[in-house]
Structure 1
Amino acid sequence: MSIRPIIETRPAQATMEGAGVHLHRAFGFQDPSELDPFLLFDDFRNDDPAFYAKGFPWHPHRGIETITYVLEGEVAHSDSLGNSGTLGAGSVQWMTAGSGILHQEMPTGNARGQMHGFQLWGNLPAADKMTAPRYQDIAGADIPEVIDDDGVRVRVITGEFWGKRGPVDGVAADPQYLDIAVPAGVKKTFRIDTYRRAFAYVFEGAGAFVDASGPEGILLEKEVMGAEVNIRDLSGDRTLIRFGTGDEVTVQAGAEGVRFLLISGAPIEEPVAWHGPIVMNTQAELQQAMRDLQNGTFIKPAH
């Protein structure tokens, strides 16, 4: 077994998207090879409807998959194919844009006005760029949850973990998407396939992720002073951790516990031509997508 070294720890950056939704972006619109097959990750969270209510009006996607995970509030969605629905708290939508789709996503808060969710973009390989669009809407009650003897809780959104398989399937990158909560003071190790790119995103509490990359690691808390490996700074709310190669990730929860997403996928390793919500392999394909948008042929007929 080998612990994955920490390549980078960085805070998500405040930005705006859609019609003025205030959110934090952990990565996106930079180096697409950094976390291949993943392109972008947004944390949209607010207690004031003024900062999210205008939502994400009609916009196109082609060549990618979008994964929306809602923790609080609801997201109503509709698209150019006639699909519509509402994602409630705890639910997931996996949308394969494929050859092209126009859709909108409009968030509403819970009874206290709170809205919280995540959106992850996954790239599609060249062979699937122009596949027919499809949706997978998964209710929160249908997502398996495993609780270990030490109180560690894991929701398995996709992939297989601790004997449970997530309900989202048929995704090109064959990802593993886990929502993990580790109680205060507990140290826990999680297995990840060696050949996958992996990252963690902390969104509650704080924890120290074990780092085997070298002597610069620092032991920070009294309860982890006996650790046999180096530990970097405690990672708190809205922190992205990028991991190197290995087959284990270990975290030591802080005084209030830690909750984070642990996401990994098989890299596609293909050229990327990217403009806004459209991601193709070549500039020629990207330009064709723009022409399709302009001349009304972006939505392809079903076969």
Structure 2
Amino acid sequence: MSQTSTAFRGVERLVAGQQTADGAGVRLTRVLTQNLQRRLDPFLMLDAFRNENPDDYIGGFPDHPHRGFETITYMLAGRMRHHDSAGNQGLLGPGGMQWMVAGSGLIHSELPEQESGLMEGFQLWLNLPAADKMMAPNYRDVPSAAIPEYTSASGVHVRVIAGESHGTVGAVQRPVTEPLYLDIHLLAGSRFEQAIPAGHNAFAYVYRGRAEIAGTAVDDRQMAILANDGAAGVVIEAPVDSRLILVAGHPLDEPIAQYGPFVMNTAEQIEQTLRDYRDGKFEAAVVQAL
């Protein structure tokens, strides 16, 4: 698909997110909340964290289970150690990413490996199609240097975490949901265009500065839900130096049944998941490389 479109998506609405705490008291902003799951299918949740005070992050996210979806943790600053129930571990540093497919279920932890300084990043939950919810868990740690990136002629710097942008293929490609995940750094006065397939749901989250999407101002720590109106592109302009993530994906259009860290399609599947967890089946997970 051409990266230049004559029809750009507008902004359907702006979302500020909800201040909350998760794990062992980590303060964060839950931007994509449960009431937006149908609208932003296949995405289930987006958490943004940006904390200078160690008391707001030092407890991290101790052992907890997942089943039925994928988690993408992208670090902007700080270090986070991952462990899972198969004995795998990895260290996420600034600019690094972990893509984990929970699949049939596993237990993992994400704990800070620092006692001071800034801890900043995102965790995005991506739903799995019904046919893949019980696939074997797997994951991939991607250091900052391994994330493809490019700089446009106008000075816009783009890190391609997933999908493709202007001929640069991202670190991860996923079937069915076809996610696009870009970290975009814009200089004041710059402009950026990105193709998004018609029908894919999409949103942008500004984490520095202020951006304009199709003429709508989006402030720091705001999410813009892009209209799914048949247009096949988005245009972003920056009145000041700005940074944002742009996320899009092919909707699954399947039932969603969620109970905390478990996302299936029916209530009966959730009940079975709870039995499996109580029976210790998650602790025996064998996690493969993605």
Corresponding position of 1:248: 233
| RMSD of aligned alpha carbons | 1.6
Quote the Cα distance in structure 2 between the aligned partners of 1:299 and 1:180: 38
CA 1:9 to 1:197, structure 2 compared with 1: closer, same or farther past 3 Å? same
Counterpart in 2 of 1:66? 71
C-alpha distance 240-109 of structure 1, shift in aligned 2 (>3 A): farther
C-alpha separation between the residues in 2 aligned to 1:126 and 1:62? 12
Cα deviation per residue 1:269-294 (whole Å; 9 max; x = unaligned)? 00011011100000000011011112
What's the counterpart of residue 250 of structure 2?
266
8 Å contact 1:100–1:300 — kept in the other structure? no
Corresponding residue for residue 101 of structure 1: 106
Instruction: For residue 109 of structure 1, report the CA deviation from its aligned partner.
Output: 4.3
Q: Report the 3-state secondary structure (helix = DSSP H, G, I; strand = E; otherwise coil) of the residue aligned with 2:72.
A: strand
User: Displacement, 1:44?
Assistant: 1.3
**Which of 149, 165, 168 is equivalent to 1:145?**
149
Equivalent residue, structure 2, for 1:294: 278
Q: Does 1:163 align with 2:167?
A: yes
Q: How many residues are aligned here?
A: 280
| In structure 2, C-alpha distance between the alignment counterparts of 1:70 and 1:139, rounded to whole Å | 10
| Distance change in 2, residues 1:73/1:171 (3 Å) | farther
Displacement of 1:192 in angstroms is: 1.2
- 2:128 aligned partner: 124
With over 3 angstroms needed to count, the CA separation of the structure-2 counterparts of 1:301 and 1:87, relative to structure 1, is closer
SS of 2:270's equivalent in the other structure is: helix
Residue type at the aligned position of 2:265: N
Q: Tell me how far apart the structure 1 counterparts of residues 48 and 81 of structure 2 sit (CA, whole Å).
A: 17
Which sits farther off after the overlay, 70-79 or 161-170? 161-170
Work out the CA distance in 1 between the residues paired with 2:219 and 2:205.
9
Structure 1 residue 172, shift from structure 2 partner: 4.7
Q: For 2:125 and 2:256, how far apart are their aligned partners in 1?
A: 14
Aligned to 2:44: 39
Structure number with bigger Rg: 1
Task: Give the letter for the 1:10 counterpart.
Answer: V
Amino acid across the alignment from 1:192: I
* Unaligned 5+ runs, structure 2: 1-5
CA shift for structure 1 position 107:
2.0
Quick one: which of 236, 239, 253 aligns to 2:222? 239
Is 1:284 the counterpart of 2:268 in the alignment?
A: yes
User: What residue number does 2:3 align with?
Assistant: none
**TM-score, normalisation: structure 2:** 0.92
Paired amino acid for 1:288: Q
The separation in 2 between residues aligned to 1:109 and 1:296, in whole angstroms, is 31
The alignment's TM-score, normalised by the length of structure 1, stands at: 0.89
Distance 2:283 2:68 in 1: 12
